[in-house]
Chains A and B, each alone.
Chain A
């Protein structure tokens, strides 16, 4: 609105300085800082211990409520015809049967009898056969290059003595991925067709994405007992939600005209789904399958805590023994396998259908690859019966890098110990400890109020109320201090990840070369299972908050880089030209045009960074943090369902509050851009 000087005195109510939003934030911060710094003094002055410690009398027994509820569920609950226990047994059986077959075929051979009395009646497939199948898949999905890469990965597993563990892991993947993908597809189709299911599923999926994995290991352990089945169930539950989401998106994304074309040729509902919608959506659906594979591999190590064997178990036990060499070897094997499976599934997602072969030819002629592969599998199997060297990679020919890694670590530690120690101390003293003091000093009562106020200011009273209820739940469950430690570690890591990631992202957004290089690095970082980050970090910096922070930063860096690059790249080139024509310098171009326009995208990146940081943080409990992650971990080792679920929910609540606040910010900044346009 333009007001000229001769406008009569009815000026619009000018925002007085005390109404400016920055003042609200300043006041909130100062108050929080003051409370944080002087809470101890307050407690002494008023002799009110409740200020710094949540009073035990007020604490709600949420943990035992949850434990009781679960016990009732398992022992007494019934759906009329069958009980919960029957249900879990049925699920167990349904998963165990195919898993046993695949594991026998790949790793252990087919057994007769149980335990030590077991008797092998048929051996497993030869390592050559498995490698040839994978190579052929690579060739079929894309080209010889991929075939070579996949082949190299599997030969690596054999040569470096990781074959047996790797095959057990591959067996879990081969069971978990189809079940997760098909289950996700089914749920997604249901949600697409039935709006009620969609509405019910949405918050559940949100929650699933924020509850740390460890948290549902505990109830699964309780329901299914220790063993590979429990591990598979956990893996499937963990890997399915993205598939559901992708399915809904993919089906909605099929162009309306294609659906109409299907209806106009007289498809029934079922034909429309299976002949039109699903095939048209296949490229997007394959992206979902790729996600399921990656999440499954990510879960491999975690699931080994509740009984999945294989590479994950090797890494975990090496970490526990602080056996650096063994840990790195098994960790690398997981990475190698992840790379192979990731590239393969991505190639399948992008695969262009080939021109059909002449159907006049015989089956053998039309499928030369299939026939060759089958021949190799059968031949090696039969030959393996007489020549064991063909079946198992000969032990004498395996290489081990374990000693090399040990020596390398020793060398680094002997020669650079002081440097690493200095870095660690500096960061701890000047960054981590002050932040820690600030967060852990905040008295719980003020903390709840402050979070509520901030959420209210950003997202309205609903968000404010939600934040108060959720943080209240944490406090009343007696987890306030641990939650604040989580917030501090997560906050510091996100800050560092963002400070490193955004400039890199901006660089990648403006420079094609940088984009190619950083893109590859970021993609690779994302392929690695989260546990793998822990290994080198622990070796260099030993256990503690600093190591946890480094691992979290490494893991959570990717979205910060990626979203910033994408934000910069998706700016309308005309805007930049307009800036250039108005005579902006490069710096002005960045600060006045690019950054403001990319802001909504970068806020989404921040959101993702926080989510990844929180999920990694729980895992870093293994390296000795004293936060909610540790609480979950303790619950897991003690098989305490209530404790695990309550602590898991607390992490989820922190994630949800952060997610809603940052999303509200992103929405606002986008609205501002659109209003200005």
Chain B
């Protein structure tokens, strides 16, 4: 059921060695009176209670995230948990109250307005929850807008915009105005606009939350297809845990402005850091998420094997084959090397832990 995009590569393996694209350390964003005073001492940060007593909203508190080149990093949390605020700090749409953010090793927060504009034109793209399309421009003009702002001539920018419109599957609608399109189509325009500048880093703030469930699924598939094509570094915001599981290489779970846990989907399900995280994972169908490699037993060379299974298979995919067999299966990695073994008993136990 999972997409080729992340079933192809074990997220926890090679991803760890990839360079960090966006490094965010100790970021705070507070709203309210006398914020400077509260954050004056870096060694003594205010607690949740301190903030409440001061009448200050702790929209983001002490967030640490490292986003690695080419990964889909999902920030998940309920509404009001500070996701949008965090992603706006990362894109410097708002100024963090404290902390440090580095993009490709350069300090983002001390960047001048001019450099920031240059960076946004060439390196970053963003998609918004309510599409944020310009109502007075056609689809073509909306998609070409970032290039227009850069001063490219009309022929060039429209040619590139047309190409992007084709990529997101909207050809034939380029002369429509946003309000003549459905929500799903509008968000395709939003996606095309954010990608037309060929950014390296791609922010998406709840891009599919305003869509109907069926369309949402379709758009998720579309999103994975695009990523398979383009290999961007992605920060994806959602309040929907299933969506997070489905798309993420890694997930950061937020609660009350804090990041509670950052892990791969499988790690979250197998080892939730807090009861809060466990509450989310409880309802996730484990067979779809857990993979053979995370529940296999060590390889026993003496045992007879019925056959072999790829380590990246999900339990659902493995279950049918394992159930029919009377001997364990060998588990092989991408190179065909045997790295463990698995049998029906192990699969059943892992699946049954799903029951609350």
Query: A residues bordering B, Cβ < 8 Å?
Result: 255, 257-258, 260-261, 263-268, 271, 275-276, 279-280, 282, 352-353, 355-356
Chain B neighbourhood of A260, CB < 8 A:
88, 93, 126, 128, 132
CA distance A353 to B175 in the complex (A): 11
Chain B contacts with A in 139-167, Cβ cutoff 8 A: 145-146, 148-150
Closest to A275 in B: B149
CA distance A280 to B136 in the complex (A): 7
Smallest distance from the beta carbon of A266 to chain B beta carbons, Å? 3
Mark the stretch among B56-64, B116-124, B221-229, B247-255 that contacts chain A.
B116-124
Which one of A265, A276, A355 has the highest number of Cβ atoms from chain B below 10 Å of its Cβ?
Answer: A265
Given A260-B88, A261-B128, A266-B117, output 19 extra A-B contacts at Cβ < 8 Å: A257-B130, A257-B132, A260-B128, A261-B126, A263-B93, A263-B120, A264-B194, A264-B203, A265-B121, A265-B145, A266-B120, A266-B149, A267-B117, A271-B149, A276-B134, A280-B134, A280-B135, A352-B177, A356-B138
Question: Does B197 count as interface, using CB distance less than 8 angstroms?
Answer: yes
Is the Cβ of A264 less than 8 Å from the Cβ of B120?
yes
Smallest distance from the beta carbon of B69 to chain A beta carbons, Å? 20
Chain B neighbourhood of A258, CB < 8 A:
132-134
Can you report 28 residue pairs joining A to B where beta carbons are below 8 Å apart?
A255-B130, A255-B132, A257-B128, A257-B131, A257-B132, A258-B132, A260-B88, A260-B93, A260-B132, A261-B132, A261-B134, A261-B193, A264-B93, A264-B124, A264-B126, A264-B194, A265-B149, A266-B117, A266-B119, A266-B146, A266-B149, A266-B197, A267-B149, A275-B148, A275-B149, A279-B134, A353-B136, A355-B175
Is the Cβ of B150 less than 8 Å from the Cβ of A266?
yes
Smallest distance from the beta carbon of B309 to chain A beta carbons, Å? 44
Q: Number of contacting residues on B, CB 8 A?
A: 35
Smallest distance from the beta carbon of A256 to chain B beta carbons, Å? 9
Smallest distance from the beta carbon of A282 to chain B beta carbons, Å? 6
Closest to B176 in A: A355
Question: Does B125 count as interface, using CB distance less than 8 angstroms?
Answer: yes
Chain A neighbourhood of B120, CB < 8 A:
263-266
B183-207 contact mask (Cβ, 8 Å, vs A): 1 or 0:
0000000000110010000010000
Chain B neighbourhood of A264, CB < 8 A:
91, 93, 120, 124-126, 194, 203
Chain A neighbourhood of B146, CB < 8 A:
265-266
CA distance A352 to B138 in the complex (A): 12
Smallest distance from the beta carbon of A359 to chain B beta carbons, Å? 10
Chain B neighbourhood of A261, CB < 8 A:
126, 128, 132-134, 193
Is the Cβ of B138 less than 8 Å from the Cβ of A257?
no
CA distance A263 to B93 in the complex (A): 8
Question: Does B129 count as interface, using CB distance less than 8 angstroms?
Answer: yes
**Contact check: which of B117, B129, B136 meets A282 at CB < 8 Å?**
B136
CA distance A267 to B194 in the complex (A): 14
Smallest distance from the beta carbon of B172 to chain A beta carbons, Å? 13
Chain B neighbourhood of A255, CB < 8 A:
130, 132
Chain B neighbourhood of A280, CB < 8 A:
134-136
Smallest distance from the beta carbon of B83 to chain A beta carbons, Å? 14
Chain A neighbourhood of B203, CB < 8 A:
264
CA distance A267 to B113 in the complex (A): 11
Chain B neighbourhood of A279, CB < 8 A:
134, 136-137
Smallest distance from the beta carbon of A171 to chain B beta carbons, Å? 31
Chain B contacts with A in 236-288, Cβ cutoff 8 A: none
Closest to B179 in A: A352
CA distance A258 to B148 in the complex (A): 16
Closest to B126 in A: A264
CA distance A266 to B116 in the complex (A): 8
CA distance A258 to B119 in the complex (A): 19
CA distance A280 to B137 in the complex (A): 9
CA distance A258 to B190 in the complex (A): 11
CA distance A139 to B193 in the complex (A): 34
Chain A neighbourhood of B125, CB < 8 A:
264
Is the Cβ of B175 less than 8 Å from the Cβ of A356?
yes
Closest to A355 in B: B175
Chain A neighbourhood of B134, CB < 8 A:
258, 261, 276, 279-280
Smallest distance from the beta carbon of A253 to chain B beta carbons, Å? 12
Chain A neighbourhood of B194, CB < 8 A:
264
Chain A neighbourhood of B93, CB < 8 A:
260, 263-264
Smallest distance from the beta carbon of B176 to chain A beta carbons, Å? 8
